[in-house]
Amino acid sequence: MTIAENMMSRSRPFTGRGKGLCRALAVALLVSTPLGLQAKPDDSKVYEPVAPTIDQARANILIARQLQFTHFRDLGISDELSGDVFSAYLEYLDGQRIYLTQQDIQRFDRVKSQLGSALKTGQLQPGFDIYNLVQQRIIERLQFALKTLDQGLENLDFSANETILLDRSEADWEPDQAALDNLWIRRIKNAVLAQRLNGTEDDQIEESLRQRYEGQLKRAYQARSEDAFQAYMNAFTGMWDPHTSYFSPRTSENFNINMSLSLEGIGAVLQSDNEFTKVVRLVPGGPASKQGQLQPADRIVGVGQEGKKPVNVIGWRLDEVVDLIRGPRDSTVTLEVIPANASDETVTKTIAIKRDEVKLEEQSASKDVIELERGGEDYKVGVITIPTFYADFQAMQAGDPNYKSTTRDVRKLIGELQEDGVDGLVVDLRNNGGGALHEANDLVGLFIDKGPTVQIRNANNDVQVLNDEDPSVAYDGPLVVLVNRMSASASEIFAGAIQDYGRGLVVGSQTFGKGTVQAVRPLNHGQLKITQSKFYRVSGGSTQHKGVIPDIEIPSRVDKTRIGEDALDHALPWDQIEAVPHTRYFDFSGIIGELRKRHESRFDTNPEFKLLQREIEFLEKQRQLETVSLNFDERKAQHEQIERTRLTIANARRELRGEEPFDSLEALEDWQDAQAADLDTTDEELDFVIREGGHIMADMLELDQQMASILQRRHFAVQAPAQ
């Protein structure tokens, strides 16, 4: 990091061809307008505009070439693309439209259609000038907020019938500074109101908000050339697809550490989300995953070290937040987060996580057994849970015959379950975000004689087919595969193959839809992660965008509008290619209708499923809220209603388990904190979705004696269409 930063500091600003355009934009953008309550920065602090370097300009040219000639998507750099880059860049810099006005946006009209041609040739100054203006506006807004706090919280009126829009990403830009002033006063009132409703005293509220705004202001003054370059390049690369991105030298270092899984931390993959740091996914077996409270799409707003209050990190650079979260093994980090299902951005919770190293063995597959009694008949169903597709590459390369891998571990577990005399097998891939591709290929091979498992098409339309060449089968009995929205990539390859082969039923919710393959390519300055190929099922359909659609669906708490490939901008579309010849072991079409009918009948009377539906309806109602009231009495009533509902749902779940109800939300939260702090606490009872997988298995065995054809290895061939 230090070497890279030293190199950047020695690099000279780029002032190559196109200086006329750059100067014109600089003049147009850097003329600031006086602001109502706070007109100018402190005399002691002056924002120093950042400028591009020669190294960055060269990297930009290399990136443009790679995108045009090696990316899977055939997309040229055009005037239309210029406008899209401009919009994406503004979304990154001011996604909630709280810093810039319509007057500022109009100043960009003359250059926004020319960004593409400038990016082709390494002319970075237009993007840097936009960045510098936004930084100036951020400084002005934060100074306005601090000036408002100086006037005292008692001067804020909470009796008026005012509201504030929760998500401004699609809102109109405020017309001028006066309108923006009004918006910021409402934002401050919203923040104050939320803390008052949580019982915080005004002096503590003022201190908290002042620390937040002063911290953001400090970072705005400390803007670096690399911040502008990375933001601009990612707005550019994101036009091709959301998984293509530029890594600065510092971000490259963090990426490489993350991929090695050797870092002592909390085991969470993070990304920037406007001024917030968002949780993308949790590493299976990592401290955050085991602790259980942090969830994908949560946004981190504060980070505290052991025994200290969290530091507000809104507006911080991602690498700075990552550094703050990292720390020595067995130490505790406290995260203040906005939950993914929060009613608004002022609702937060605090999570304490003990740092540790993510170990391969803690991501290993595990087994369990469900015993069911149905109409006098007993069934024993094996369950294998696979958190990720892993392999100990170092041991493999060293020639260790006993190296660990998903396929090896699952084969062993299957043998143990068969010795127990199980009647069927449930493979649980929920929350499995993928991993080693060859492990997905090999795992399919445990359940089929031999044949293709997945197709991979590159940008030249060349198709590679991965095959299971091993005719041996570890398990040939009835099979159910559980998936959910967080099942991605290699999980989708396995589930899709099992479905295409008619080898088993897929149960759960629509998977993530991550059907692309990326490669990381070095640049003269940083790295480019670029999408180079796409996955297709043996039946020809892509797993991209659509994912795998379950044969039997179980609703999920996850908000599909926020999590999943189809929720990402510029995601590559679903399409299909020719199928490849493959075996079809069983045709479920004759019994799937009755299987669904039985499943729905069970769930209609299942108290746990009814509770899940109630939770989903509650969360959906919260998500549909577009505004919140700034009137204290109205907001208090809404807050109390939400708390009552949360407590009612939690107590209903405790009642199902024969446990004493909580008498208050505070008691519930204290219990959750105590449970999360004890990493050895586990729920011995398998969750009801796994049990339902077992019931579906029993249905399959009861319904149709054709299932015996699986056990007897009878199958028929499915040929690819004639060419």
DSSP letter, residue 249: H
One-letter-per-residue 3-state SS of 283-337: CCCCHHHHHCCCCCCCEEEEEEECCCCCEECCCCCHHHHHHHHCCCCCCEEEEEE
Start-end of H helices in 360-489: 393-397, 406-419, 437-445
Q: What rounded mean pLDDT belongs to the chain?
A: 85
Spatial separation of the C-alpha atoms in residues 372 and 369, rounded to whole Å = 10
**DSSP count for the chain of H helices, then E strands:** 24, 23
* CA atoms in the 13 A half-sphere facing the CB of 709: 16
Cβ atoms 392, 447 nearer than 8 A? no
Amino acid at 658: G
pLDDT at residue 685 above 80?
no
| Active-site pick, 112, 278, 367, 514 | 514
Residues 6+ apart with CB under 8 A from 378: 371, 372
Residues 6+ apart with CB under 8 A from 125: 14, 15, 18, 19, 21, 22, 25, 26, 51, 52, 118
Burial 538-572 (b: 16+ CB within 10 A, else e): bbbbbbbbbbbebbbebebbbbeeebbbbbbebbb
Residue 678: predicted pLDDT: 52
Q: Which of 53-67, 312-326, 705-719 has the highest mean pLDDT?
A: 53-67
pLDDT at residue 582 above 50?
yes
299-305/332-338 β-pairing: antiparallel
Q: Could you give the angle at which helices 125-150 and 19-29 cross, rounded to 10 degrees?
A: 10
Least confident among 134-143, 185-194, 324-333, 455-464? 324-333
Q: Give SS3 for 579.
A: coil
In the chain, where the domains are located = 2-240, 262-357, 361-606+688-718
What average pLDDT does this structure show over 319-336?
Answer: 87
- The torsion angles phi and psi of 71, rounded to 5 degrees, stand at -75, 150
Burial bucket for residue 722 (CB in 10 Å: 0-12, 13-18, 19+): exposed
Confidence of residue 256 (pLDDT cuts 50, 70, 90): very low
Spatial separation of the C-alpha atoms in residues 270 and 670, rounded to whole Å = 27
Q: In Å, what is the CA distance from 258 to each residue of 254, 280, 357, 387, 490?
A: 6, 13, 11, 17, 18
CATH fold of the domain at 361-606+688-718? 2-enoyl-CoA Hydratase; Chain A, domain 1 (3.90.226)
Task: Tell me which residue has tokens 């039946």.
Answer: 539
Cβ atoms 612, 555 nearer than 8 A? yes
What does 38-51 look like in DSSP terms, one character per residue? --S--TT-------
Confidence of residue 80 (pLDDT cuts 50, 70, 90): confident
Based on the residue annotation, tell me whether 534 is a catalytic residue of this protein: no
Residues 6+ apart with CB under 8 A from 510: 485, 546, 547, 548, 549, 550, 553, 560, 564
Confidence of residue 722 (pLDDT cuts 50, 70, 90): very low
Instruction: Using only the alpha carbons of the chain, give its radius of gyration.
Output: 28
Q: What is the CATH number of domain 262-357?
A: 2.30.42.10
Q: What are the pLDDT digits (tens) for 6-32?
A: 333 333 333 333 433 333 333 333 333
Based on the residue annotation, tell me whether 172 is a catalytic residue of this protein: no
Task: Tell me which residue has tokens 């939260």.
Answer: 669
Q: In Å, what is the CA distance from 486 to each residue of 286, 378, 499, 562, 720?
A: 16, 33, 18, 12, 31
Task: Tell me which residue has tokens 């590679």.
Answer: 464
Strand partners, 336: 302, 350
Based on the residue annotation, tell me whether 349 is a catalytic residue of this protein: no
Residue 14: predicted pLDDT: 35
What is the widest separation between alpha-carbon atoms in the chain? 86
Q: Which is more confidently placed, 596 or 607?
A: 596
| Active-site pick, 225, 289, 489, 542 | 489
pLDDT at residue 716 above 80?
no
Q: What are the pLDDT digits (tens) for 417-439?
A: 999 999 999 999 999 999 889 99
Q: Which two tokens stand for residue 541?
A: 């359909």
First to last CA, the chain: 54
Task: Tell me which residue has tokens 């002691």.
Answer: 44
Residue 362: predicted pLDDT: 65
| Active-site pick, 84, 94, 181, 500 | 500
Residue 406: predicted pLDDT: 93
Burial 415-425 (b: 16+ CB within 10 A, else e): eebeeeebbbb
